Amino acid sequence: MKYVFGPIPSRRLGRSLGIDPIPLKTCNWNCVYCQLGRTSELTNERRDYFPPDEIIAEVRTALQSYDVGEIDWLTFAGSGEPTLHASLGRIIAELKEATNVPIAVITNGSLLYLPEVRAALMPADAVLPTLDAGSERLYQRIDRPAPELTFARLMDGLIAFRKEFQGHFWLEVVLIQGLNDTAEALSDLADAVRRIAPDQVHINLPIRPPAVSSVEVPDDESVQRACDALGRVAEVVCPTAVSIQVAGHHDLGEAICEMVRRHPMSREDLCGSLCEVEPEVLDRLLQHLTASGQVRELVRHDKRFWASADSRYAGVETTT
């Protein structure tokens, strides 16, 4: 499928069926930690990147493959910033009429200062925006937003949306060693969190190959310090593995390419998702896909990952 992927097991969202309404790495941020690599199209333009009717139809078709209760959430996420899709609100509203499965939107939250974007997300059941910094300086250094986006606009949007939205409001923080895990950075971040007053704060760690190779995972002491600073609503949710269901794919190589386009995966991840495939067969297939340029292989702390062939990383070791 072109727009639907998964389902993906998640600590927060159970069995989540992903919806990807944006082309690969079309975003208004260029985060140093992004597991999908560097942003290829840094844009703040909201438009219909894909036909909304096609997205809705594909989700409806995908849902018919599962019994009631098999899918816990429909989650807008994937290759870029979903709120850049101008018809996102219409898509959410029509899916709410078509299914009782709750809908989540994983977004960087940068456009919530726009009333039309806040209105588009109102029908959702959960919205998970990102807050990696409590100051303009670190916001620019970590998230590297489009020029017209400022930390003040980000905060204004998050605070306004929090006041209006009736669903689950969960902030996501990616903790980076030496950047936002210092005492000063955490103090600023904690102040911002108090002003926003989310239901929960989910702390993630950059365990997969980041867009910039200097990004490192903070030590356990720093992670605990972040939890203490951000208060009782904070918890670490960083996954140790990714598992994506590939039932219904007739071509195994195509299934792997679709998986790693949205979630770079290690050999262990792939073995877990493709448990019916012999490891030797998987190794030969990965070698073929890499050699033919359909995927690319990355090395992160001596561990191999596979990602989209179109992804771009700064200083991250790749194999040839």
- Secondary structure string (H, E, C) spanning 89-136: HHHHHHHHHHCCCCEEEECCCCCCCCHHHHHHHCCCCEEECECCCCCH
Alpha-carbon distance of 4 to 91, in angstroms, equals 13
**Mean residue pLDDT across the chain:** 89
Please check whether residue 84 is in contact with residue 46, taking contact to mean a CB–CB distance below 8 angstroms.
Answer: yes
Phi, psi of 287 (to 5 degrees): -60, -45
Question: Which of 77, 96, 94 minimizes the C-alpha distance to 16?
Answer: 77
Which numeric CATH code is attached to 4-236?
Answer: 3.20.20.70
Binning pLDDT at 50, 70 and 90, where does residue 320 land?
very low
Residues in the chain: 320
Look up the pTM and report it: 0.86
Alpha-carbon distance of 86 to 109, in angstroms, equals 15
Lowest mean pLDDT among 141-150, 254-263, 288-297: 254-263
Is pLDDT of 183 > 80? yes
User: What one-character-per-residue DSSP string does 195-237 give?
Assistant: HH--SEEEEE---SPPSBTT--PPPHHHHHHHHHHH-TTEEE-
- Residue range 302-316: mean pLDDT, rounded: 75
CA 319 from centroid of its chain's CA atoms: 25
Binning pLDDT at 50, 70 and 90, where does residue 301 land?
confident
What residues have CB less than 8 Å from 157, skipping those under 6 apart? 109, 110, 111, 112, 113, 114, 117, 118
Phi, psi of 111 (to 5 degrees): -100, 10
The better pLDDT of the pair 267, 102 is held by 102
Alpha-carbon distance of 81 to 12, in angstroms, equals 20
CATH 3.20.20.70 domain position(s) in the chain: 4-236
Residue-level pLDDT at 259: 76
Q: Could you confirm whether domain 254-318 is CATH 1.10.760.10?
A: no
Tokens of 77: 């996420």
CATH 1.10.10.10 domain position(s) in the chain: 254-318
